[in-house]
Amino acid sequence: MAATRPFNDDTAYWGVPWEESYGYPQARRVGNELFVSGQFSHDEDGSLVAPAPLDADGRPSDFSTMGEQMRVCYANIAKLLALYGASLEDVVEETLYVLDMDAAFAVVGKVRKAVYGSDRPQAASNIIGVSRLAQRPQLIEIVCRAVIGAPATRG
């Protein structure tokens, strides 16, 4: 499964079952803007990477894989952006939805700086704590908006 634009040049898909059942694209281009749907840490087969272990109630019991899940989210975003000739440098805003704020804050700075290649990434960033995400072992989901050709500023 690779990111593709099978229906038209303005929408992108992974080809995963939840796109069909929920009914949405992974990314949509409008003019020079790209809107990327919430990305989580799935691999090319649609399987969750670094899933959190679950307790007896089906809730994550360990948040130590937050950083790895976050890195894979950004890698998936980068693959979608590349379909349009864009990159993470074109991201102007992102929202991170996390299950555990402390676990996220422990890794978010290091991960963001690494994926954006800057000590001061130029994407406006929001982080929101939520009670649950789409898949139970999922700890994070990232949504972003990019502007193709946005002037990059390295910090």
Residue 69 Rama label (left phi>0; alpha psi -120 to 50; beta) = alpha
| Residue owning tokens 């272990």 | 53
Q: Is 33 a domain residue?
A: yes
Residue 9 has pLDDT above 90, yes or no: no
Residue 23 has pLDDT above 70, yes or no: yes
pLDDT digits (tens, 9 = 90+) for 93-111: 999 999 999 999 999 999 9
Q: Is 124 a domain residue?
A: yes
What are the tokens at 30?
Answer: 């409008």
What are the CA-CA distances from residue 39 to residues 17, 80, 116 (Å)?
14, 10, 16
Q: Is 153 a domain residue?
A: no
Q: Is 5 a domain residue?
A: no
Which pLDDT does position 151 carry in this prediction?
67
CB 147 within 8 A of CB 32: yes
In terms of Cα–Cα distance, which of 34, 28, 30, 9 is closest to 147?
34
Residue 6 has pLDDT above 90, yes or no: no
The enclosing domain of 39 has a CATH number of 3.30.1330.40
152 versus 105: the higher-pLDDT residue is 105
Residue numbers of the domain that contains 79: 11-147
Q: Is 29 a domain residue?
A: yes
Whole-prediction pTM? 0.92
Please state the rounded mean pLDDT for residues 45-53.
93
pLDDT digits (tens, 9 = 90+) for 53-82: 999 999 999 999 999 999 999 999 999 999
Q: Is 2 a domain residue?
A: no
Q: Is 86 a domain residue?
A: yes
Which pLDDT does position 153 carry in this prediction?
52
Q: Is 95 a domain residue?
A: yes
- Please count the structural domains in the chain: 1
Give the Cα separation of 9 and 138 in Å (integer).
30
